[in-house]
Amino acid sequence: MAYSLMTMFNAFTWTFLAALLAATSTRLWLSQRQIRHVRAHRGAVPPTFADAIPLAAHQKAADYTVAKTKFGMIDNVFGAVILVVLTLGGLIQWLAEQWARVLAPESIWHGAAVIASVFALQAALSLPFALYRIFGIEERYGFNRMTLKLFVIDVLKGIVVAVVLGVPLLVVVLWLMNAAGSLWWLYVWAVLVVYSLFMQLVVPMFIMPWFNKFSPLQDQTLVERVERLLARCGFRSRGLYVMDGSKRSSHGNAFFAGVGASKRIVFFDTLIQRLDPPEVEAVLAHELGHYKLNHIKKTLAIHFGIMLVSLFVLGLLVGERWFYEGLGVSSITLSVGLLLFILVAPVFSFFLHPLETLLSRKHEFEADAYATSHSRAADLVQALVKLYQDNASTLTPDPVHSAFYDSHPPAAVRIARLKTA
């Protein structure tokens, strides 16, 4: 087996390995930078926050960030090893052979079984990491509210959701790849677009209520305040709700759920407990900014564009023997081609990540500007300081690490801009 694998390897094998090595070492390098930078600034609270955040909280944030980053490095290396074992190590080939004993090798069901078993394996391997993150790191820093029982229930529900929502989609995609002719990638794209839009409706309506409890917002002072803000912004909501995020974590956030012009507004209970009504209003004004400035639609449109290009590329690759053999697979079927593409494409697209975060940070600044014009900037600053402190987010990220990964601008930059508003 090892010998036959070695003879298949080609130029693409080395391209893939070089890209994987480059991506993984870049990740580790960025993590190293982040750890060094955060540690170097652990000794003093940055001047912007000096009178709002105590030194002890700043140091807790530094230690928490370092702990998470170190653990992320182990996760990155492990992920790269698993990817090599699956591909060049021959695990996908072996799985394809095992399933071929019970299912016709070219059939959709064989393809679905191979893909589902790889995803199931990846999910199973990620469980110990999730356990350590929640019951190790989050617990140590006092953020965890999850019990082991709830964790198990969440995993089981997650499996049900993945099977109910994922398997039918996979079968439809594989069927189109097999039956829709040379333009299958275009039809698959159309299905994925419709599916994503459908999910925007289904997830908040049917999936999230299965994991969390949503109750109407009771606090009348806050209700009135929020309704005045909504009227000022010309936003019609389909109700104000509170979600019991506190049963899993003490981290706080606010978000929207729903589709179209009439949306439900959902607050984390942790947010309501921690922030004063004017601060909640300012945070909501920021979220309304994202909606009013079409950030959600724009991001979705960009993702659909990337999806179309990716599927076009996949359409070119699935017929090429070198693509399969270069990745350690001799069972050349469309479904295995799809699987290899899903696994390997992120290695190559990793270096485009800063572009995505750049756009996201631009949107954050725009939403802040919107919030400033519809509520008070000082309240948003107050709310952000509280959230940074409660979430132990570092106030001193490494600039390069931040440019690569952070969807939000660094705290100091963001608050400095709000203060000039």
Pick the closer one to Zn ion by CB: 281 or 364.
364
Q: Closer to Zn ion by CB, 364 or 398: give it.
A: 364
- Residue nearer to Zn ion on the CB measure, 138 or 364: 364
Would you say 118 and 339 are in contact if contact means Cβ atoms under 8 Å apart? yes
Residue with Cβ nearer Zn ion (285 or 311): 285
> In angstroms, what is the minimal distance from the CB of 197 to Zn ion?
22
Total site size for Zn ion, rule CB under 5 A: 2
Query: For 70, phi and psi rounded to 5 degrees?
Result: -60, -45
Q: From CA 386, how far away is CA 154, in angstroms rounded? A: 29
Tell me how far, at minimum, the Cβ of 211 lies from Zn ion, in Å: 23
Task: Please report how close the Cβ of residue 148 comes to Zn ion at its closest, in angstroms.
Answer: 33
Three-state DSSP state, 71 = helix
Task: Please list every residue from 364 through 403 that binds Zn ion, using CB under 5 A.
Answer: 364, 367
Mask for 134-173, x = binds Zn ion (CB under 5 A): ----------------------------------------
Residue 213 Cα distances to 246, 251, 268, angstroms: 11, 17, 11
Work out how close the CB of 363 gets to Zn ion at its nearest, in angstroms, rounded to a whole number.
Answer: 7
Q: Shortest Cβ distance from residue 420 to Zn ion (Å)?
A: 19
The two structure tokens encoding residue 417: 């801009």
Kind of pairing, strands 214-216 and 237-243?
Answer: antiparallel
Residue pair 282/379 in contact by the 8 Å Cβ criterion: yes
Instruction: Considering the complex, state which of residue 23 and residue 395 has its C-beta at the smaller distance from Zn ion.
Output: 395
Hey, what amino acid is at 404? F
Contact positions with Zn ion (CB under 5 A) in 351-370: 364, 367
> CA-to-CA distance for 291 and 138, rounded, in angstroms?
31
Nearer to Zn ion, 174 or 384 (CB): 384
- Both structure tokens of 106: 């070219």
Q: List the end-to-end C-alpha distance of the chain, in Å, as a whole number.
A: 66
CB of 417 to Zn ion, least distance (A): 13
Interface residues with Zn ion (CB under 5 A) are 364, 367
